[in-house]
Structures are given as C-alpha cells and as structure tokens.
Structure 1
C-alpha cells in the first residue's frame, strides 16, 4: 500500500481502499503531532501516551517506516500532502475522498478533518484515547474545537485559521453531523454517518436498513438493451448529451408499476458514466437519509434516483442536495407532482405499457432460450409490462421445473401471474375465483346479449385500435368499463366471475363502501392504489356497491357535499383514463350519476328472474337424482318470486336438511328451506299445500253461493 525509502516517500495507491488508508495515516500523524506540540505547553510527552496506549505506539512505528529520517512534523505534513495530491493528478481512478474536493469543493485539510472525525469508526481504541484528550467533556468522539486544535495551530500547522472554517463545510454538506446541537458550538461532538464512512473506504454498497441500493455502471443496461418504441429510444440516446451540457439536471420519468423505469434511468446514467443510487418509495428513515445523499453520490460517482408513490393532488418536495451538482432522476406514477423548486432544468418522459409485439420480445428475453408452447397467445393474454413479465417468466420456469419440464405452457404462466397478482393486490382487494361458463348463468335474453357484447369488447380491446380511424390515434382504447345494474341476487357477481374465466384473467373485488374514508383525500388515495395496481397487473377489477361513490352529485350546501363531489369527480376522471377492465355493480341503477353511465362502454341490466328462469335456476342447483317432484318445482317457479341468490340459498338449506336425515332432497326439505327464506325476507310463503288425503268440504259461504246459483 505505502512503500518508503530512506530519503523519499513513494506512494503507490492502487485503489480507493489504499487511498483512504493513506488519509487515515495522515490523520493519525497529525494527531500525534498535536500531542507532541502540546507537551511544549505542559502536556504529557508523546512517549507517556505510547506507554498507556500501546496501539498508538504501533501506529507511530508504522508511520516512521514511511517517513524519511530526521523529518519534523511540519515537513512530514507537507510531504504527505504534496505526494497525495501529485498522485491524484496522475490517475484516472475514481477516488471517493478526492471527489469530495472536485464535487463539493472541500480542501485537503477538510478531508483530514472528515477522516479524523471517523477514527473511532475504524478503531474503537481511539475512543478511549480521545476521551482522555478532551477531558472533562468525556466524549469518545472529537469535538469541533478539538479538530481545530489538531489541524489548525502550532507546529505542524496545515493552515486552517479556525475550527468553524474547517468543519463548517463538512456540516453543511452532510459529511459529518453533530450529536449534541444544543451544546455550545465549540463543544459540538461530531460523527460521520456510517453510510458515508463506508463510501469513503471504497465500500459502495449502502447498509440494507437505509433502503438505498447502489447499481454500479457495469451492471446497468445500455439504451440499446431497452425494449421500448424506437422514437422513445432515440430521445433517450440524445438525453445524456443534454445532461452533460448542463441544459438538463432533473430527469422525471412517469410510468405505471412494472414499466422498467429504473432500467431506463440506469441506461441514462450509464451514458453519463455514472452508477445509480436508488431510493425506492417507502424507504425506512427516508428523511434521515437526505443529508447524506449529496456527499455519498459525490464519493461514489452515482446519480441519485428517487421514487415517489404519490396520490392525486399530492406534491413531492425534492431534498436539497447541497453541493451536488450532478443530474437527479425521479421516478413517479401518473398522479401527483413536484414542487416548483424542482422544476428548473427538468425534462419529463412518459413510459407507456408495451404493445403486443414488444410483449413478445419481452417474453422471449425473459424465457432466456426456454420454449414457450404458445408464445403468441401468452403475449396477447397477459398484458403486462417488462418488469412484471420478467417476474412471471421466472416463476413460470420454476413451475415447469417442478413438473419435470423445461417447456413453459399457458397453465404455468397463468399460475405464475396469479402468484404475482396476489403479492401486489391481496392487501388492496379480495380475489374471486374465476370459474363457470355462460351456460351456468340463467338470465334474460336481453342481459345475455349484453354480456356477450361485453365479452367480445374485452377480448378485442387491444386489436380494435387497428380498425379505427385516425381520430382515435393515441387515445386510450385498452380500457373497458362496464356497469352491472340490478337488485341483489340477480347474478351480477357470478357474471363477472364467468367473464374472468372466459377471458382467462384473474378478478379482484373491491368494496367501495369500505374504501370510502371520512378523512379528506384518503378515499382518493385508496382508490388510486387499487386502480393503479390492477391496471398494471391487467386483472379484472370488480367495484362492488358502486353507488357508494357513483351516486348523483348533489348541490353544494355544505363542506361535506363539496368533498363528496370531489371524490365522485376523481373516480369519474380516473375510470375514463383506466386502461384495464373494470366492472362496477350497483343495486340502485337509477341513482347512478348520468356522467358515469355515459362513460361506461357497456351497461348490463340484470332483472329479477321470471318463471322459466326460476325453473332453470332450480335445475342448475339441484342434483338430477333426488326425491323432488317436477310438479312441485314447477309450482315453486310459478309462485315463489325469488332472486337467483335466494333460490340458491334455499337449495343449500334443503340439502343440509336432507344430509341430516341421510336422505335425498325431497319436497318437504325444499319447502322448509323456502319458508325460512321468506321469513328472512319478511314475506309470506305463497304456496298452500294440503295434507295428503285431505278432502275439501264446502263451507257456509260456498253453500250459500251454490244456493243462489240454483235459484
């Protein structure tokens, strides 16, 4: 690391770690010079400290090996400085401590103050030693005044006029922080954040608890590696030159989840010869990390990339990266914005979801040479962005491996996509099982026609763009919005599940009544999270009890009316821009705002079942080999005006009664269940059945009527 001859100092600094070690030696040398200097003013001689602290004597002996003989402290300090600076000028290696000068404007003496502050981080024995030197303060870390004494006066003086002039830039740039800001400034105890100390030593990876992630330049993709439309790639290729010229400092990428925005930002950073420091949304102690970002990026040569997950109306305030003059990247969704201060020298790019051809290319890359049995169908069925395609492909390959195959089929991809959907949506919505066929749904012919239309609309939602005129170019045609209206129990949820099964998609249900929050802005935030994730994962979203938010807007007579209308307006605009399939159910179709109905692609009315439909529902739910008489079932269908859900409940109850008797379902079981269903609804069972062998005899009224007829 350091080699010396008897008459000269020859520094061989091959990497950031050895460069840091030399600065550590220089800092210790200055500390020893301070002790020797203080002995002339009545302090203990250096040899006494060597006796009490043998580790200090070992450092002193090591330093003497690299110094010419009979060289005093002043000339030793000058020799250290001149040799280090001369070597730095002749190397192209990125050195973290040198970057503090080139990027943050710190002097060589400030570097030494930084290293001296962190001595205890490197060797805990310095803590006890510093505590003795600074008595009676009893602190194991150096104070601001102590650093000024060591590096700023007497023999061996480097030329720093005062402690604040030395340490002020370190504090302002975030390189050091004070543990006791309430104390007098001269007694401020200084410390180096662990993140920055590791960076100075050449250890670029930040601690995991910070939430930061460093991606070196060599691991970043190039712009040619990205799978995006050609026009966007052309703009990205020209962007590094604009950043290098100083015209652009802030790069804002807006995209949906899973759109590989970090890869795009990494390609831009690679074009600038930088790595990426990623600060994801929701990182722990995010605000505490801000002050260290500027010096950390300067020392590592990385571009900070900050992710925000903003809700509608929210504004993000970028940290003040004082001293850092390089580019900054921001990853953001479609909603929210940045504060005005951050909008200088900014360029904004929007990343759209990939089309069918790009999805094919993503799947081929993600499968990495493995065979997919029906790649075209997979690419068309699963409308995912690049990052999600990679995740699904890896899970699908693992599923195929468990099945003893290296070929990926539609079943493995569907299972992998389902696992990804659950991972992202289980905390936001409830997954429904997609099953059934249209033959299992008994509805009126008008409803069936509308459902078939809805199915076609969903299946062709992407291909329809090619059959539309130029007026539709660039408009959102991937989204399908449907309103299912009808009283409870008429089959709305069942129809949604069957639609999902027919399309081969997952379906998640959101109860809007549970999403609505009494606190201002929380309802919009909840809806934004659900809609954004469902849109990115391309699942069917079922908004249950839609009248909770889709009701007609009212005249504003109070603050509550105004905020309720704001929530309705937000959902109205968000659904209009929605790029997935969303089904909204309501039991009160007449109360739905007309603006919502106008924006719905398909409105499917569900009616209470009529006689033939009720008979069909009973046939679907009842097993064929039972003790039920067809005549009784016909009478039930004729007289019992129940919904499909009520009839299903009655059949389930009858089956339970028959199970308790270990008998097949008979008329009496179904009758008991139907009576219970009517009692639950507050109605009267409409069928009067006479006991077996009963003969009706004419009463007085019937006899009187008969006599009148005879007369």
Structure 2
C-alpha cells in the first residue's frame, strides 16, 4: 500500500469512522421509527444484539446524548459537512459530496451497505429486519427506508438514493433479475478499502498509483524548453474547462509518465496510470470512481499499431481531465474532440541526456559523462533503467566510479529484455582490417561510419537551405550476392561505433493477414529506435520490391505494406541497415530514401588470397603456390572461403595436425559439391587423412565428373 504521511492517513480513516457512526445512528433511528408502528424498541434490539449497545456508546462519545433520534440525524448531517470543510486534506467520502454532488442520504446508504464488511454481526441484524426474505446484506428498498427523511413530502425514493451508487460502481447488485426493490447490494471490496484508508491497493503491472508528493514539478521535468512552455499551459486549460483530454505523443521509453505527473502536480492531484495496453483500453469499471476517491488524474498509456484507433471507455464516477499517452502510430476516437490538446514530446537532445544521466546516476561518479551522453541516445525512462542497473552492478563489484563499459553492459541487458523476442542479436566484433572488399566499398563504409558517428552533431553544421532537419536517422542499403560480406560489414560497423546490433529477417515478419505485417514492422522498428541499436533488415527485397500494378486485392495490400515501410524509413531516427541480394528488384523510391547505398562485389583474385590468409590459422602448412592457385581458379565468395577454411581446420584438428594442402583441397572440393559446382583444379593431393571415408567418396566423384 502506498503511504503518505501518517496524519493524512489518520484523517481519512477518522472521517470514514465518523460517517460509519452516522450510518449506524441512522440505522438505530430507523429501528426507533419502526417501534412506533409495532416493531421492537431500540432497547429490545440492544438486548438481542449487545454489539449494537457498544456501538451506540461509542457514538455518544462524539454527539450530544440529549438529542432525539430525528435531531441526531440532523446533527450528523450538519457536522459531517462542517468537519470535511475544515480539513486541509483530500477525504474520499467528501469527494462524493463535493465533486459528484451525492446527497447525504446516498452517502449514508453507502455506509450501511458496507457495514457487513466491517462487522459480520450486522448481517444477522439485516436478515432480521428483512424477514421473510432474510438476506444478510441490505436490499435496495431497505437502504432507501433506513435513510429516508421523517418528512414524507421530502422523502426520496429508494432508487433516487441508491442509483448513484450503482452507476458509479460503488455498489453492485447480486441478481438484477429480481424486482429492483429486492436487489441485494454489496460494496466493491477494493473501493471500500480505499474509502476506509484513503489509500489504494498496491500498484500492479496494469495500474500504477503515484501520490502528489511523488510527482515531479513542472520546472523539474527535463524536456525541450519549447515543449515545456506549452506543457505549462495545459493545467490552465483544464481548470477553465476549455479542454478535458491531453493526447501526449511520446517515443517509447520516454519519461512521458513523469511529464503527465507534472500536469497532475500542477492541478494538485495524484496520478493513476493504466497501461501500456492494447488498442482497446481495458474497461476497468471502477477506475473512474477510484480516481475521484483518490483525487487522482487517470492516464491511459496505449500501444497502438498503424491504422489502429483507441476508444476510451466511459469513466463512471469521474468527470475531470484525462491524459492519453500514444506513440507515433494510431489515433484516438472520442466524442470530445473539441476538448483535445495534442502535444508531441521530442526525444531528449545531448544536453538533456547529460542532465538525465546526472539525475538517475544519483550522485555516482562517472567517467566521461559527455561521451556517455553522446553514445547512448536513450529516452528518459530507459536512461533511468540503465542507470539503476549500472549503479547496482558497480556496487556489487565494490567500485565507486561508473565507466563507459558499465553503462554499455547495463544497456545491453535492457536490450536483451526488450528486443530479443523481436529480433536476433549479433555479435558486434571485428575491425575494418578484417573485411576484404573493393576500394569503392571500403570508402563507402568509412563514409557510413562517419555519418553514424556524427548523426546528431551534423544537424548543427548544415547550411540554411537544410532548414531544421530533426531526423538523426541513418539509412543504408547493402547490395550484393550472398557471401560478399554484407553481414560482416554490419557487425564490424557496430563494433567500431560501440553499439549493439540486431538482425531481422524481413521475410519472417511478412504476414498473410491484412495489417499484421505493418504491426510487426512497427513493433520492431519502434523498439530498436528507442533502444538506439543498429537494426539489420536481412533479405530486404521481400518487402522492398518494386510496387506493382494493382490487379487484385493481394497486389493492393502488398503495395500498402511497401508504402508503410517507405514512410516509416523516411522518419526513422535510428541506424538501419538493409541487405539485399537482388538490387535490381528494389523499388527506386527506397533507393532514393537511402542515405548511402553500398555495393558489395565478388572478390577478385588478390582479395580471395587475402581472405584465405585471414581465415587460415597462423600455424598452417599450406604451400603458398597452392594457395595462390586456389585463389586464382576458385571463384568463391568471401563467405564460402570462410566455410572452406573452417572445414579444413576441423579436419586437421581431428587428425591432430596443422592445416596442409591436402586439408584445404578436401575442404574446397566439399564446398563445390555443396553448391553443385565442379571443382576447377586437378587433384593435387589425394586425401590420406582419417576422414571417415569422405576422401574416397570425393575421389570417386571427381573421377566421375
């Protein structure tokens, strides 16, 4: 349970206790009234139910003992309102009167409905009063009669008294098939505890409560200055009634809840956050009345896919402002469109990230704070999570200074938690010296590295014709046949930049159901963008192919998927690499949107020789002449040469010897057989090592062909 200071908790409980006493006094007054028409007297009830006498004794400690039963009811009505008016704290029961305009009789009916929750002995009393039906909980008609005024002219109907409790979900009817007068009413146990204590239940995954004291003031929120100034105007519009819903679009992982809390704090309210959820917010029937009882503002945090629209459920028992947090996609369908405020929360820039790291590292010493802020372009909530994990990791090792590697390790853990189910992590390792490629390819890769390294700072060094470009994204297309080094280049780029890299096979996320492909794409792109990892889209031609003339429904929906990816890539803020083996099939519009297109070529003779030398173990015994001959005549791709060297090393390891010409030749033959090709060299060295009969099999095949 969330705790405020002890005084606040006591006052809410004390106000509840006084209302409970007033309800019991009302019940005793009703018994006295029944005695005038032949029922048992109050004293007789005290004899039958001794616990009632004890409650009455406690009530007389609060109210004058000289008052008659009818005068006592008026005394409670007047004094309860006066006590609530003198309290400087929010009182849940007073909110029913002040905000929802509940009558005194309705609040008394609520207290009577909850008596059984407090003391089961009241169930026996209600069963006695409601004979011959004998229900242990009060019926709707019983509550109306108990709280009814003495004056029949001003007396309310039982429905007038109880209907507000039903519509706000404070009470529920067990069986609505019965006549309305016989509905048995019970209070919601969670709401009853909230009324009794003034505090909510423990926050869960779907519902989070933040008290006013936990919220950040408006000036303490670390955001762009222009956005902060607009945000400061929101509470005023809410107070004036000119707006009721704030739609806050924010990047995933941003501190959008903190921003929402600043609005609530300016209004003197607490905060209740529901989400993140699906496109249809969970219909919590008690959320509205819970917010009223808590003096809280509700926040819906929604995760919408492209083309989806959220419909906010009705909040029974609440008529205050609402905040809806959305990402880049989706929309809100509401009848209150004229009372909407739309704000877009920008991602934190370099200077804001420095302040966020300083805040969430909580005074810990950090090496090269500027480098951390440059390298990790994370939104606020993700910075908070990474900083928390880093502090714990450093503390476990007994160190006091946080380094760049500590931040990187914590960020990698966060990436695993949030991205591993959507994409496959690749090892970011190697250096450009390990990539043997054409000079044109190498030059383009160096250009790409610079583009990534300075993607944020570049914005401040452009001429006026560029305007104010806000997109720090880098989009590169790698073209070339399989095995030419595209994936290796991506891994080396990630290693050089010190970033994590994840691979997505585009063919695996294309879905036959309408709209599902866009949902899958949006999910992985949004997550990778927020975590600031390099995203490698493999086999891009499956979605980047040229758009076709629409001849049927399949063509139309395929073009929609292509159009969506075109639009999403154009506004992508991260680093995305797309590979394709079929560059001629790529839609020209995609190529125009790429910042860099890098071709990967089949290696030439000298490049193949260098690849052989790079992958063979340093202690190999392969003759230089044979190696040059293999490079000259075996027109393999870089990936195939890697496989050959791996196979040769494996066979040599099994034999317990260094790699020789024989091992390499055997591996070359195996690679050609695997790809359905003809080994171009005449046999130089018959296989003589223990290869499980594979040598004889290879010789037989070569003689056959």
Per the TM superposition, whether the score is higher than 0.5 is yes
**RMSD, matched Cα:** 2.5
SS at match of 2:304: coil
SS at match of 1:383: coil
**1:126/1:634 Cα in 2 relative to 1: closer, same or farther (>3 Å)?**
farther
Does residue 1:360 correspond to 2:354, yes or no?
Answer: yes
Distance in 1 (alpha carbons) for counterparts of 2:675 and 2:184: 75
Does residue 1:143 correspond to 2:132, yes or no?
Answer: no
2:172 to 163, 173, 177: 177
**Paired residue for 2:93?**
97
Does residue 1:641 correspond to 2:641, yes or no?
Answer: no
CA contact (8 A) 1:211 1:284 kept: no
**Paired residue for 1:21?**
17
**Paired residue for 2:690?**
none
2:82 to 60, 79, 86: 86
**Paired residue for 1:231?**
226
1:625 to 619, 623, 627: 619
Distance in 2 (alpha carbons) for counterparts of 1:526 and 1:105: 48
Does residue 1:488 correspond to 2:450, yes or no?
Answer: no
**Paired residue for 1:281?**
276
CA contact (8 A) 1:75 1:156 kept: no
1:439 to 420, 430, 433: 433
**Paired residue for 1:218?**
213
Does residue 1:106 correspond to 2:96, yes or no?
Answer: no
1:427-453 alpha-carbon deviations (Å, 9 max, x no partner): 211111110001111122221111111
Q: Deviation at 1:691? A: 6.2
Q: Deviation at 1:480? A: 0.3
Q: Deviation at 1:132? A: 4.9
Does residue 1:189 correspond to 2:189, yes or no?
Answer: no
**1:21/1:442 Cα in 2 relative to 1: closer, same or farther (>3 Å)?**
same
SS at match of 2:102: coil
Q: Deviation at 1:342? A: 3.6
**Paired residue for 2:409?**
415
**Paired residue for 1:203?**
198
**Paired residue for 1:62?**
58
Does residue 1:607 correspond to 2:601, yes or no?
Answer: yes
2:158 to 126, 150, 163: 163
**Paired residue for 2:693?**
none
Q: Deviation at 1:501? A: 0.4
1:369 to 363, 367, 377: 363
Distance in 2 (alpha carbons) for counterparts of 1:440 and 1:139: 83
Compute the TM-score of the two structures, normalised by the length of structure 2: 0.91
CA contact (8 A) 2:210 2:271 kept: yes
1:122-172 alpha-carbon deviations (Å, 9 max, x no partner): 33443454345445656543322222232237x698954211111112222
Q: Deviation at 1:365? A: 2.3
CA contact (8 A) 2:455 2:472 kept: yes
SS at match of 1:349: strand
Q: Deviation at 1:110? A: 0.8
Deviates more, 1:114-123 or 1:277-286: 277-286
**1:634/1:44 Cα in 2 relative to 1: closer, same or farther (>3 Å)?**
farther
**1:414/1:40 Cα in 2 relative to 1: closer, same or farther (>3 Å)?**
same
Distance in 2 (alpha carbons) for counterparts of 1:652 and 1:126: 82
Deviates more, 1:22-31 or 1:492-501: 22-31
Distance in 1 (alpha carbons) for counterparts of 2:357 and 2:636: 49
**Paired residue for 1:670?**
664
Distance in 1 (alpha carbons) for counterparts of 2:183 and 2:282: 22
CA contact (8 A) 2:484 2:600 kept: yes
Distance in 2 (alpha carbons) for counterparts of 1:159 and 1:667: 109
**1:620/1:53 Cα in 2 relative to 1: closer, same or farther (>3 Å)?**
farther
Q: Superposition pairs for residues 105-124 of structure 1, below 5 Å?
A: 105-124=101-120
**1:79/1:287 Cα in 2 relative to 1: closer, same or farther (>3 Å)?**
same
Deviates more, 1:138-147 or 1:91-100: 138-147
SS at match of 2:190: helix
**1:564/1:125 Cα in 2 relative to 1: closer, same or farther (>3 Å)?**
farther
SS at match of 2:282: helix
**1:157/1:630 Cα in 2 relative to 1: closer, same or farther (>3 Å)?**
farther
Distance in 1 (alpha carbons) for counterparts of 2:151 and 2:16: 21
**1:262/1:618 Cα in 2 relative to 1: closer, same or farther (>3 Å)?**
same
Distance in 2 (alpha carbons) for counterparts of 1:221 and 1:80: 40
**Paired residue for 1:469?**
463
Distance in 1 (alpha carbons) for counterparts of 2:507 and 2:46: 75
Distance in 1 (alpha carbons) for counterparts of 2:501 and 2:132: 69
State the number of aligned residues.
678
**Paired residue for 2:447?**
453
SS at match of 2:271: strand
Does residue 1:130 correspond to 2:126, yes or no?
Answer: yes
Q: Deviation at 1:592? A: 1.1
**1:128/1:681 Cα in 2 relative to 1: closer, same or farther (>3 Å)?**
farther
Distance in 2 (alpha carbons) for counterparts of 1:214 and 1:624: 62
SS at match of 2:99: helix
1:645-701 alpha-carbon deviations (Å, 9 max, x no partner): 222222222222222222222222222222222222122222221568xxxxxxxxx
**Paired residue for 1:313?**
307
Does residue 1:294 correspond to 2:250, yes or no?
Answer: no
SS at match of 2:142: helix
SS at match of 2:24: helix
**Paired residue for 1:700?**
none
**1:691/1:650 Cα in 2 relative to 1: closer, same or farther (>3 Å)?**
closer
**1:682/1:54 Cα in 2 relative to 1: closer, same or farther (>3 Å)?**
farther
Distance in 1 (alpha carbons) for counterparts of 2:92 and 2:356: 38
SS at match of 1:341: coil
**Paired residue for 1:10?**
none
Does residue 1:518 correspond to 2:512, yes or no?
Answer: yes
SS at match of 2:262: helix
Does residue 1:541 correspond to 2:531, yes or no?
Answer: no
Distance in 2 (alpha carbons) for counterparts of 1:210 and 1:597: 43
SS at match of 1:478: coil
Q: Deviation at 1:117? A: 1.8
**1:340/1:278 Cα in 2 relative to 1: closer, same or farther (>3 Å)?**
closer
CA contact (8 A) 2:280 2:311 kept: no
Unaligned 5+ residue runs, structure 1? 1-12, 693-711
**1:610/1:75 Cα in 2 relative to 1: closer, same or farther (>3 Å)?**
same
CA contact (8 A) 2:279 2:303 kept: no
SS at match of 1:204: coil
Q: Deviation at 1:498? A: 0.4
Does residue 1:338 correspond to 2:315, yes or no?
Answer: no
CA contact (8 A) 1:259 1:352 kept: no
Deviates more, 1:317-326 or 1:592-601: 317-326
CA contact (8 A) 2:279 2:304 kept: no
Q: Deviation at 1:288? A: 4.1
**Paired residue for 1:659?**
653
